[in-house]
């Protein structure tokens, strides 16, 4: 028996694919047009385009790129991809300026000592300025997967967004939550700007209905995910 060919993507649901990039996971929504969610760390562009080609499509089909937040492992491949694909890029209002700026991305480490140690590495790998075509706000809607709603979920960063697809029962949370050892958790304290706000965002997300929950660093929860988020939200202190 021939081994299965290596693929750069995994199907989560029909039309929704997870792509392992450098540093995180991006998502492709493949319909008449393709919507790309996040772009990995610098150097991830080729891997994302290879996944698009493996799906039998072309880079020109990527018409929308949505960034969940400005951390380098989500926005790092954006400027390189913008040279190859025509898609319009959307970033939340609170952090579009970080993505567009010619200054390095803000240091994500919250501990001042760690921030200082990692600063040279971050500066060396900074992806540089990228284009933002659409500034996103809470409640904005795009057509992907029968309707994609932008849910502002600050805390990890000020402009973090989650993406809710009510018609397909999917919530994609970026880094707004972690899922380790079968347990939901708040985002990493090491990289999150405001933990009480992150907890309030989980409570906001717990009010949504969905079956499948997708993360940027963990495997998805495919069934009954909203109940799990509600149970987790009940354990968090009210803001």
Give the interface with Zn ion as residue ranges (CB under 5 A): 71, 175
- The answer to whether 152 touches 138, Cβ cutoff 8 Å, is yes
Q: How far is the CB of 115 from Zn ion (least distance, A)?
A: 14
Nearest to Zn ion of 34, 172 (CB atom): 172
* Residue with tokens 């660093």, as numbered in its chain: 217
Q: How far is the CB of 209 from Zn ion (least distance, A)?
A: 25
Q: How far is the CB of 191 from Zn ion (least distance, A)?
A: 5
Nearest to Zn ion of 95, 175 (CB atom): 175
- Cα(27)–Cα(45) distance, integer angstroms: 13
Nearest to Zn ion of 175, 226 (CB atom): 175
Nearest to Zn ion of 17, 70 (CB atom): 70
Q: How far is the CB of 236 from Zn ion (least distance, A)?
A: 19
Nearest to Zn ion of 71, 152 (CB atom): 71
Q: How far is the CB of 226 from Zn ion (least distance, A)?
A: 23
Nearest to Zn ion of 80, 95 (CB atom): 95
Q: What's the burial of 102, exposed, middle or buried (CB within 10 Å: 0-12/13-18/19+)?
A: exposed
Structure tokens, 168: 């397909």
Structure tokens, 174: 């970026």
Q: How far is the CB of 156 from Zn ion (least distance, A)?
A: 6
3-state helix, strand, coil in the chain (%, to 5): 30, 25, 45
Measuring CA to CA, which residue among 135, 160, 161, 133 is closest to residue 149? 161
- Cα(205)–Cα(153) distance, integer angstroms: 8
- The answer to whether 239 touches 202, Cβ cutoff 8 Å, is no
Nearest to Zn ion of 25, 71 (CB atom): 71
Structure tokens, 75: 């926005």
- Cα(221)–Cα(218) distance, integer angstroms: 9
- Cα(91)–Cα(37) distance, integer angstroms: 11
Q: How far is the CB of 110 from Zn ion (least distance, A)?
A: 11
């Amino acid at each position: 028996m021939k081994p299965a060919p290596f693929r750069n993507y995994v199907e989560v649901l029909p039309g929704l694919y997870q792509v392992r990039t450098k540093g995180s996971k991006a998502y492709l929504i493949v319909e008449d047009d393709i919507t790309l969610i996040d772009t990995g760390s610098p150097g991830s562009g080729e891997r994302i385009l290879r996944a698009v080609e493996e799906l039998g499509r072309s880079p020109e089909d990527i018409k929308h790129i949505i960034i969940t937040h400005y951390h380098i492992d989500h926005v790092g491949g954006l400027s390189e991809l913008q040279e190859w694909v025509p898609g319009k890029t959307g970033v939340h209002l609170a952090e579009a300026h970080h993505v567009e700026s010619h200054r390095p991305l803000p240091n994500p480490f919250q501990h001042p000592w760690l921030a200082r140690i990692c600063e040279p590495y971050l500066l060396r790998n900074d992806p540089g300025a990228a284009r933002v075509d659409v500034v996103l706000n809470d409640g904005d809607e795009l057509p992907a997967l029968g309707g994609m709603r932008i849910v502002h979920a600050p805390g990890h960063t000020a402009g973090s967004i989650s993406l809710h697809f009510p018609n397909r029962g999917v919530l994609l949370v970026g880094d707004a939550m972690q899922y380790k050892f079968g347990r939901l958790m708040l985002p990493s304290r090491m990289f999150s700007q405001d933990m009480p706000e992150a907890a309030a965002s989980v409570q906001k997300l717990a009010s949504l209905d969905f079956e499948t929950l997708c993360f940027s660093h963990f495997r998805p929860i495919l069934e009954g995910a909203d109940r799990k988020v509600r149970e987790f939200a009940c354990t968090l202190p009210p803001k």
